[in-house]
Amino acid sequence: MESTFTLPCVVCGAELEPAFNNPMANAEPNQPHGGTTFFTNGHYGSTVFDQMDRTELQINLCDPCLLKAAEAGRVLHFAPPRPSPPRAAVLWAPDGSGALG
């Protein structure tokens, strides 16, 4: 296996160039320029791949196919959860009268 290579787009088959051509860059071998790499360990409900043995599949999606899918409403975007605000701590009153003090 070469030190730098990229898989083609899983949707349209477009060839994607490596983002890094320097084998000394210590980059992920399948790092596409003009595309995105996706990893999966499988998914409950898949009848094709859900090995449950920590193996994974990797696919590439070119930027034009990703944009086309997003414009068609077929891509979800998840933002990291916002941190919870600090909670006020009060002493508990076991008699049910509320907070002590």
Cα 8 to Cα 39: distance, rounded to the nearest angstrom: 15
Provide the b/e sequence for 38-64 (b: ≥16 CB within 10 Å).
eeeebeeeeeeeeeeeeeeeebbbbee
Model pLDDT, residue 93: 74
What three-state secondary structure class fits 58?
strand
pLDDT, tens digit (0-9, with 9 covering 90-100), for 47-95:
898 888 888 999 999 999 999 999 999 999 998 888 888 888 777 777 8
pLDDT mean across residues, the chain: 85
Model pLDDT, residue 27: 65
Model pLDDT, residue 2: 47
Model pLDDT, residue 100: 60
